[in-house]
């Protein structure tokens, strides 16, 4: 990776961690606030759902806005919205304002993610370098999900919820400072005859390859959502303590981060979609083995392997997405991808909870393993 690009990528990662990490911290702190003031589990579930609702409607407009105005402006807007909503919550730490802050911070995190990924994808026309860039960019969400809740938890224990929200509102502006002076990469020529340059964002779906890639992305997203939602329930079924379940979840994040950092080494030795295909096959098998785990150690090992293989796929999907999408519409393509992620984030917990309540958690892991394994054939069809 060129030194200039490396500096920009580091700034982009810092910016996304600041916005996404703040959202992750709020996502941990807001339910605790709701429970402490007497709200029930249903209300907490509604509160958590609000973090993803905005992106269903904003992902495509955000992508189009970034294509038109560049990546820095939407990130500045996202940081501002995040900081202001947390400031309001810090002044009035009540459930209704927490719901407002959840919507605003969910929207801010999604906006930052789309804008950062769009800018990263346009830094280089060399596909190998692009894959290395996305390996670094993909580390930002995992680090955010680790440091955000940790920071919020430490602040809550040391002070109280009000001080925590007021202090968190100072984190997103760091993203603005990190991206000061950021300029747009030079645009590649626009082929006038390319039909993908015209029409609504959904016109991009005329590309059969892009449709298949989004199907693969949706299956991987479902795997992530089942893993994050069902692991605590599986741990509870096994009688594990809260700290043991926390360690199992931490193993997922650590393994995903490690696999993404190792991806540049793997890229030189295998085709993009071959890696995706093999990862999906192995992931499908691993999901089927999760119900056999009878201790925290075995569950943690299986979860770490799932985190590693699921985590390795995201940089490749983003790289291939940019490769097959016209440069002037990459923000919209990322918006479509983000929509599929948030559709999964909202529907999968509901479906998993319903199936788990009806026939047990084992059936959920077997089902998602079968779905990911079957969808691997779609990934294989994308191999050149």
CATH number for the domain harbouring residue 299: 1.20.1250.20
CA distance 27 to 295: 28
User: Does 189 reside within a domain?
Assistant: no
pLDDT of residue 127: 66
pLDDT of residue 131: 72
pTM: 0.76
Considering the domain architecture, whether residues 206 and 173 belong to the same structural domain is answered as no
pLDDT category at 192 given cuts 50, 70, 90 is very low
More confident residue, 204 or 227: 227
Structure tokens at 82: 């995040």
pLDDT category at 282 given cuts 50, 70, 90 is very high
User: Does 186 reside within a domain?
Assistant: no
Considering the domain architecture, whether residues 119 and 230 belong to the same structural domain is answered as no
Considering the domain architecture, whether residues 313 and 368 belong to the same structural domain is answered as yes
Q: Is the pLDDT at 110 greater than 60, yes or no?
A: yes
User: Does 129 reside within a domain?
Assistant: yes
Q: Is the pLDDT at 321 greater than 60, yes or no?
A: yes
User: Does 134 reside within a domain?
Assistant: yes
Considering the domain architecture, whether residues 229 and 173 belong to the same structural domain is answered as no
User: Does 187 reside within a domain?
Assistant: no
pLDDT category at 193 given cuts 50, 70, 90 is very low
User: Does 226 reside within a domain?
Assistant: yes
Q: 92: closest CA among 153, 28, 10, 37?
A: 37
CA distance 355 to 338: 25
CA distance 155 to 302: 32
Considering the domain architecture, whether residues 252 and 148 belong to the same structural domain is answered as no
CA distance 21 to 152: 10
Considering the domain architecture, whether residues 82 and 207 belong to the same structural domain is answered as no
Considering the domain architecture, whether residues 263 and 368 belong to the same structural domain is answered as yes
Domain that holds residue 102: 1-181
Considering the domain architecture, whether residues 121 and 250 belong to the same structural domain is answered as no
pLDDT of residue 260: 79
CA distance 152 to 249: 17
Domain boundary among 147, 181, 215: 181
* Domain total in the chain: 2
Q: Is the pLDDT at 194 greater than 60, yes or no?
A: no
Considering the domain architecture, whether residues 65 and 105 belong to the same structural domain is answered as yes
């Amino acid at each position: 990776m060129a030194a200039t690009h490396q500096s920009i990528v580091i700034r982009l990662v810092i910016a996304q961690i600041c916005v996404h990490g703040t959202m992750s911290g709020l996502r941990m702190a807001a339910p605790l606030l709701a429970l402490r003031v007497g709200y029930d589990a249903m209300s907490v579930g509604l509160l958590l759902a609000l973090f993803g609702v905005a992106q269903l409607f904003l992902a495509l407009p955000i992508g189009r806005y970034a294509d038109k105005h560049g990546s820095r402006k939407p990130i500045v807007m996202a940081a501002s919205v995040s900081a202001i909503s947390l400031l309001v919550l810090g002044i009035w730490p009540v459930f209704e304002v927490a719901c407002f802050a959840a919507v605003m911070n969910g929207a801010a995190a999604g906006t930052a993610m789309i804008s950062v990924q769009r800018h990263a994808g346009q830094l280089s026309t060399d596909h190998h370098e692009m894959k290395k860039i996305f390996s670094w960019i993909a580390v930002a969400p995992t680090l955010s999900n680790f440091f955000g809740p940790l920071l919020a938890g430490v602040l809550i224990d040391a002070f109280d919820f009000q001080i925590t929200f007021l202090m968190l509102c100072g984190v997103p502006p760091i993203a603005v400072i990190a991206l000061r002076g950021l300029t747009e990469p030079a645009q590649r020529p626009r082929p006038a005859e390319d039909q993908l340059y015209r029409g609504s964002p959904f016109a991009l779906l005329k590309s059969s390859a892009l449709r298949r890639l989004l199907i693969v992305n949706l299956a991987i997203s479902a795997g992530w959502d089942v893993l994050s939602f069902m692991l605590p329930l599986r741990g509870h079924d096994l009688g594990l303590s809260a700290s043991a379940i926390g360690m199992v979840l931490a193993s997922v994040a650590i393994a995903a981060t490690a696999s993404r950092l190792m991806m540049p080494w793997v890229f030189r030795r295998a085709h993009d979609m071959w890696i995706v295909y093999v990862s999906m096959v192995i992931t499908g098998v691993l999901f089927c083995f999760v119900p056999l785990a009878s201790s925290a150690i075995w569950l943690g090992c299986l979860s770490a392997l799932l985190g590693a293989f699921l985590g390795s796929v995201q940089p490749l999907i983003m790289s291939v997405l940019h490769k097959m999408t016209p440069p002037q519409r990459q923000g919209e393509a990322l918006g479509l991808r983000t929509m599929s992620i948030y559709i999964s984030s909202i529907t999968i917990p509901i479906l998993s909870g319903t199936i788990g309540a009806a026939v047990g958690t084992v059936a959920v892991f077997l089902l998602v393993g079968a779905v990911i394994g079957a969808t691997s054939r779609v990934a294989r069809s994308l191999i050149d």
